[in-house]
Structure 1
Amino acid sequence: MTDHDDQPIDIENAQQLGEFIAQLAGAADPDAPAITLDTLDGYMTALLVGPPPAAPIQAMDALFGDDWPATFESQEQTDAFMDVLHLRWNEIADSLDPQALVESPEQMQLVPLISEFDDETKARLMADGSLSEDLLDRLPAAGALWAQGFLQAVEDAGTWELPEGDAARDLSLMLEAIEAVTLATDSSERDSYIQEAYEEPEGVDQDALIDDMLFTVQDMRLFWLQQAALKAAFSEVGESSSEH
């Protein structure tokens, strides 16, 4: 998991959340897309970034269906899950505090839960039978599942559309920076994106794309707050005009 020394997260809570999500995923339809801790974390981040009011329960219902609590054996277990879920939700919300983002725009505030399959981890999973050669070849690149969760939330919300104009173009470019992390590392689409988006594309690797994605997400938080402020201002002008 990705962590930053300047803004530590509750690692034990993240591990507990991961165990709960693995339990839910194990009980899910085997034909359904696999949901991981990364997916949930990206999804919840998008809910906190985007325009509508949101709650973590929305992410659970969207990813696992409305009856996901039935997986747990008792109300106590459900309550324990909700506790760790809300703690993580609050951590993400705190990292997206607008004042901190404005005061330190070059500072990485987000601490995403992104699984990293380094060579040692892969070897251990292969040795204990958790990972086959076939699955190893199909492992997504680092950050891809998190980005997919974020983008799924955007699609599910249906409230991220903007009228044509500079703001719509800015939003489109920001979403492209997130989608870039999901592209296969050996794909021509990824190569084309890097060539077009970077002045010096030679040194751009997956880690660079992830860093740019996270800074973009922070920018998105301020972008949507600005859009909300503009909408409120236009609404006040309209109300004032109708009174005269």
Structure 2
Amino acid sequence: MPAPRMSTEQEIEALDEVCQRLAGFEDAISLEWLDGYLTAIVASPRRIERDEWLAKMGQGVFARAYADPADAEQAIKVIDSRFEVLANQLDPELILDDADVLRLAPLMIELSDDDKKQLVADGHIKEDELHLLEQTGEVWAIGFMDATHDFPNDWPDADLETEEGQLFDECMLRVVSLTMEPAELKEVFDELYDGEELTREELIHEALYAAQDMRLYWLDHAPKPPQRRVGELPGRNDPCPCGSGKKFKKCHGAQMQ
């Protein structure tokens, strides 16, 4: 099985620059948030066209941040590059080759103890406020869930009356767990892991495997498109509704004979 594609350092730096510009118009945007958002778009049950999700992402921030067409074109190329990497990592055929292999490699910010001390030393945050910093993977999960909220018809509630629906619901819970406080996490540990407490790294791995599992789930459980309502056909001797002036049987109705 071929190894999953990975973004290069240059590609990540270029994407981070795009995110910094977007953050100037919508402060919730970051490299980690965007990566989570794109992951959910790729994992969706249908191929959502770029123009569709780009217009909704971050409440339409892209159009505000990149009003100049030339700038927008370059930024889109940068985003597309990451999108293609994620599409490869979440390729269902490659996941099915070995479902135990973790292919998804997210862009998550991890602050070491030294990093936190430096933030305090530089005056960016007070020591008694360190607990307010997002944990690793939290912003990624928020981005993922924001995408599902932007496309609710593509991410309907699972049918909890079925075993598969329950498994899908557990997958969503594994992603959401990255955003939870300790008290909430204890309930997740009790529900999903028989009370065993997972490390942060283990929780992240569980969430990433969940994203892969959801990508596979949609292969057999994609939401059904709304039914088209076909109006009553005109009579054979009625005027054709196309406006030609001919009778229906001599115009478009002839194709149905």
Range into which the TM-score falls when normalised by the shorter chain: 0.7 to 0.9
Aligned to 1:165: 161
- Residue 198 to residue 157, structure 1, CA distance change in 2 (3 Å): same
Between the aligned partners of 1:209 and 1:59, the Cα distance in structure 2 is 28
* CA distance in structure 2 between the partners assigned to 1:69 and 1:126 by the alignment: 35
What secondary structure does 1:112 align onto? coil
C-alpha offsets along residues 130-150 of structure 1, whole Å, 9 cap, x if unaligned? 444465331111101111111
Distance in structure 2 (CA, Å) of the matches to 1:135 and 1:151: 26
Choose which of 83, 91, 112 in structure 1 pairs with 2:85.
91
How far apart, in 2, do the equivalents of 1:57 and 1:117 lie? 34
Residues in 2 aligned to 1:131 and 1:15: alpha-carbon distance in whole angstroms: 25
C-alpha spacing 1:75/1:201, structure 2 compared with 1 (3 Å): same
Q: Provide the C-alpha distance between the structure 2 equivalents of 1:43 and 1:195, rounded to a whole number of angstroms.
A: 28
**Which is richer in helix?**
1
CA deviation after TM superposition for structure 1 residue 6, in Å: 6.8
Alignment-derived partner of residue 205 in structure 2 = 211
Q: Give the TM-score of the pair, scaled to structure 2.
A: 0.76
Letter in 1 for 2:23: A
Q: 1:123 to 1:62 in 2, by over 3 A?
A: farther
Q: Select 1:110's aligned residue among 104, 108, 114.
A: 104
* Worse overlay, 108-117 or 191-200: 191-200
- Residue by residue, what CA displacement relative to the aligned partner does 1:48-76 show, whole Å, maximum 9, x if unpaired? 11223213444443333336334247433
User: Which runs of 5 or more structure 1 residues have no equivalent in the other structure?
Assistant: 236-244
Q: Compared with structure 1, are the counterparts of its residues 51 and 36 closer, same or farther at alpha carbon in structure 2 (3 Å cutoff)?
A: same
Q: Where do residues 3-22 of structure 1 align in structure 2 (5 Å cutoff)?
A: 7-22=5-20
Once the two structures are TM-superposed, the CA of residue 124 in structure 1 deviates from its matched residue by 3.1
Structure exhibiting the larger radius of gyration computed from Cα positions: 2
For residues 118 and 67 of structure 2, the distance between their equivalents in structure 1, rounded to whole angstroms, comes to: 31
Q: How many angstroms apart in 1 are the aligned matches of 2:218 and 2:55?
A: 24
CA contact (8 A) 1:46 1:154 kept: yes
Out of 151, 173, 187, the position equivalent to 1:192 is 187
Counterparts of 2:171 and 2:161, CA distance in 1: 15
Aligned identity (percent) is 27
Query: Residues 53-105 of structure 1, C-alpha deviation per residue, up to 9 Å, x if partnerless?
Result: 21344444333333633424743322221111000000000101111100111
The aligned amino acid for 2:87 is A
Structure scoring higher RCO (CA < 8 A, sep ≥ 6) equals 1
Q: Which amino acid aligns with 1:211?
A: H
- How many residue pairs are counted as aligned between the two chains? 221
